[in-house]
Amino acid sequence: MSIDLSQFYEVFIEESFEGLDAMEAELLNLEPGDVDSEIINTIFRAAHSIKGGSGTFGFMAIADFTHVLETLLDQIRNGQRELESQHVDLLLKSVDCLRAMLVAIQNDEPQESELAVELKTQFQAILDGEQPTSPRIEESTEINDSSDTQSSSESQSVITIWQILFSPEPHLFKTGNEPLFLFEDLEDVGDITVRANLEKLPDLTHLSPEDSFIQWTITLETEGDVSEDKIKEVFEWVEDDAIIEISKKAQIEGLGDGIEEEAEPSTQQQTQLPTESPVEPETLDTAIIKDKPAGEAVKTTQVKSADKAEKPASTKSESGSIRVGTDKVDSLINMVGELVITQAMLNELGESDELDANKLAALREGLAQLSHNTRDLQESVMRIRMMPISFVFSRFPRLVRDISQKLDKQVELKLLGEQTELDKTVMEKISDPMVHLVRNSLDHGLETPDERAAAGKGKTGTVTLNAYHQGGNIVIEIIDDGRGLNTEKIKQKAIANGLIAETDDLSDDEINELIFQPGFSTADAVSDLSGRGVGMDVVKRNINALNGTVEVTSVPNVGSTFTIRLPLTLAILDGQLITVGKNVYIIPLVSIVESLQIDTRKVNTVGGGLEVLRLRDEYIPIMRLYDLFNHHDAQTELENGLLVVVESDNEKVGLLVDELLAQQQFVIKSLEANYKKVDGISGATILGDGSVSLIVDISGLIKLAGLKKAGKQGLDFDKPLSEAV
């Protein structure tokens, strides 16, 4: 019977990616010369889990590569080797290499690469070229050179003798595990002697080559501070498929090189040690023997839950979690969307007067309950997709570190609002634009240490990533304390490129917005980090595709701030139905400030024919939707319509509509995917009567109507939206 392992491969790869993320995050916290043992242990456990899993599934290229990486980590965590900056760099490159090897598995491509071979060579050069010195030997040297007043505890070395009983279940080989690999891993911990027990081996007529019948007794001799947990790590991938008993048989404290040599049993002595007693205490007459009671033999399976809780690769919370495929969540969301549409249809039926009073009352009561349940279900389902933005922020410490080193700049990265949640779909699509903006801040925004000192700043620049909720949106800020944007240089470049005329009177904010024009750049040379500005228009386009906006503010010699505003979800929208003539549109509720009847006495016309309403202490520009949408059957007199005041990008405008209808939830359908992109429209939805209604994009409408320049150049209403459609 064949077994489909593809689903197990997927889990292994996903957990390995999580483990690599944990390794990278902890590596960035390491300081050369000042090693935090907890950080090193976390990195080591993640690497060990990846090695064990890859060996189980036969991905030997990954297992071999991780083994070399693990050896260096083991020497560092045991204090046998000082951590250097080159070690951190090499380990970070190894994380990248392992990611690439995992992607190769996903694409059915060869795992081994030139990079992997090169990195293994570098690891081996470090391991071979600079032999690690045992702390125990260093301490012995200090004894010979120091005074007799030093305490004896500082000069003592410890040798521990362990006995391990390894009894695999018959099906062990079918799990992909090989005992010989385990023994090789044990050799990294200490000197071993392995003895096979063949008592359970059947005769040839009953022998199955796919089953394991051999028990193993292992004598392990370790030096220094080696805990039982470290030995258990070797067997963690087979603990469910074997009986494993580990017991400490003896602990020997020596007082110098001569004693250590005498305490180490020869090869002949090792082969003669009986299984039941690997070391006879009386033969070690130069050592101090500390026997451990037999009760200290522990089955690894008894501490399984404790070991698992320490694994950094796991992202499960204390309350527990399950893995759900994105396609299943998407399907569930689509079903909820259809339920919302069904509810809207039933609401239409509930408005009918053809039913008798009792049935109508019962129907409306049921509809009220359905509405309540639908809302609860929708909110619960949407929470499944919501993830903290820390999943995006986590990639930037490495990015900032690498780029700042390349540019010879000193940079501090601050992360704020990491627990702010947004939809997973939005998160996946916002990562690349953010990377480009951060690269731009590092490359063009922040000065070199000398330039900062000359400007009266600290030599270390700061890049801050901040996220928070505002209404129904998430706001992401990329802030740097660098030189700021040079508005005069931007303006002259824009004039040279024909983007604006010399006579145009633009504010600083309007000039700064020009950096998002295609191909715009003030860079004098091409940079392989953030390019020549060719990506800023792509950044803006990608964010706009998410129904979001991006804007920049800057103060010379103080810094720049890029602000991204995005909807929390792209699936369901709370909206206000409005009519323009016989057509029904939807305005997102989060954009609406207020609705009112117009007092024409407070309406004035300014330059360019722009109508503005004086509302309390503000002047609100008026947009006649029937003009933009080219609907000739709509109300054209201000006093006969309603004004819906909306806000986008901190700018308020008033939309002239005929009538306000109901407020309800709508399932957002992509107009671009089903038809084409339309300026001023963010999507469409199906109403309860089966008709299609368009969702108004407030920011897009403002730009379409030219309100950004209305106060200076006047509005151009000659291009109605219907022509774009």
As a whole number of angstroms, the distance between CA 365 and CA 358 comes to: 11
Query: How many CB atoms sit inside 10 A of residue 113's CB?
Result: 16
Cβ of 465: how many Cβ atoms within 10 Å?
22
According to DSSP, residue 132 is labeled: P
User: Which residues sit opposite 587 in a β-bridge?
Assistant: 576
Which tokens in the block code for residue 61?
């290229």
For residues 423 and 474, the answer to whether their CB atoms sit within 8 Å is: no
Backbone Cα Rg of the chain? 35
Distances (CA, A) of 360 to 372, 373, 513, 533, 664: 18, 20, 56, 63, 21
Q: What span, in angstroms and rounded, lies between the C-alpha atoms of 248 and 388?
A: 45
**Do 377 and 408 contact (CB within 8 A), yes or no?**
no
Terminal Cα-to-Cα distance of the chain (whole angstroms): 58
At 59, phi and psi to the nearest 5? -90, 75
- Helix, strand or coil, per DSSP, at residue 84: coil
Candidates 48, 50, 43; CA nearest to 17 is: 50
Say if CB 221 and CB 191 are below 8 A apart.
yes
Please identify every residue annotated as catalytic.
48, 70, 440
The tokens describing 643, both together, are: 């004004």
CA distance 554 to 532: 19
Is residue 207 a contact partner of residue 201, using CB atoms and an 8 Å limit? yes
603-606 vs 592-597, strand pairing mode: unpaired
CA-based angle 602:603:609, to the nearest 5?
Answer: 160
The closest of 536, 404, 406 to 482, measured between CA atoms, is 404
Q: Which residues have CB under 8 Å from 362's CB, separation 6+?
A: none
Separation CA 547–CA 472 (nearest Å)? 12
Q: CB neighbours (10 Å) of residue 384?
A: 13
- Please report how the helices 6-27 and 37-56 are oriented relative to each other, as an axis angle in degrees rounded to 10: 160
**Rounded alpha-carbon distances, angstroms, from residue 219 to 71, 165, 186, 202:** 21, 9, 10, 26
H helices of 146-206, in order, are 152-155, 179-189
| 549-555 and 559-567 strand pairing | antiparallel
Q: How many CB atoms lie within 10 A of CB 192?
A: 17
Q: What's the rounded Cα separation, in Å, for the pair 241 and 476?
A: 48
Residues near 211 by beta carbon (within 8 Å), at least 6 away in sequence: 170, 171, 173
Give DSSP secondary structure letters for 596-656: EE--GGGEEEEGGGEEEEEETTEEEEEEEHHHHHT-TTS--SGGGSEEEEEEETTEEEEEE
How far is 544 from 535, CA to CA, in rounded Å? 14
* CB neighbourhood size of 391 (10 A): 16
How many of the other CB atoms lie within 10 Å of CB of 524?
7
200: CB partners within 8 A, 6+ apart: 213, 214, 215
Cα separation of 706 and 718, whole Å? 11
